Structure 1
Amino acid sequence: MSDQMNNTMRFSLEQDKKDQAREIITQVYQALEEKGYNPANQFIGYILSGDPSYITSHGGARSQIRKIERDEILEELLNSYIKHHMNQK
C-alpha cells in the first residue's frame, strides 16, 4: 500500500470554528471601515453589550457577526494580539 493510503486524515471542528471566526472578524472589520466607523470601538461596544446594533448591516456584517459567539471573537482577537506582539520582541 502507498503511504497515502496508510495515513489517517484529521478533522478539526475547533480549527474550522477558529477559521470561521477569523474570516467573519475580517469581513465585519472591513464593512465597519467602509462605512466610516472605528472598528475597534464598534467591536468593543458589541463584545461588552451583546447589542448587534454596534455592527453595521452593510455587506451583511451584522448577520455575519451573529454566527459566532462574543467569547469566540474575544479569544480570536486576544490570540492574534499575543501572537503579533510575541513576534515583535
Structure 2
Amino acid sequence: MLDKTVTFSLGSDREEGIKKILTTVYDALKEKGYNPINQIVGYILSEDPTYITTHNNARSLIRRIDRDELLQVLVKSYLGE
C-alpha cells in the first residue's frame, strides 16, 4: 500500500511555454468566433482536439501539452502561486 503523497512539479521554462501556447490557442479561438473558455474546458475534459480550432495552428499547439501539466498551470495561476 502506498502511503506517501506523490508530488508533481513543472520547471518555470515549461510553465512559461504552456502559458504561451494557451494564450495562442485562446486568441485563435476568439478570432474564429468561439467562446475560448468553453472550448478549452471541453478539450480538457474530453481530450478531444476537435474542440480546438486549426486556425493559427492552435490544435497542433495544444496537443503538445500534457493535460496534467495544463491543469497544474491553470490551478496554480488561479490560486495566484
Structure 1 residue aligned with 2:4: none
TM-score (norm 2): 0.82
Question: May I ask how many residue pairs the two structures share in their alignment?
Answer: 72
In the alignment, the residues of structure 2 paired with residue 65 and residue 34 of structure 1 have an alpha-carbon distance, to the nearest angstrom, of 16
Give 1:42 deviation, angstroms: 0.5
- Unmatched tracts of structure 2, length 5 or more: 1-9
Counterpart position of 1:80: 77
- What TM-score does the superposition give when structure 1 sets the normalisation length? 0.75
Gaps of 5+ in 1: 1-12
CA–CA distance in 2 between the matches of 1:39 and 1:74? 16
Task: Judging by fraction of residues, say which structure has more helix.
Answer: 1
**Deviation string, structure 1 residues 17-53 (Cα, Å, up to 9, x no partner):** 1011000000000000001111111111100111000
RMSD: 1.5
The aligned residue for residue 16 of structure 1 is 13
Rg larger in structure = 1
- Write out the 4+ residue segments of structure 1 that deviate beyond 3 Å after TM superposition: none
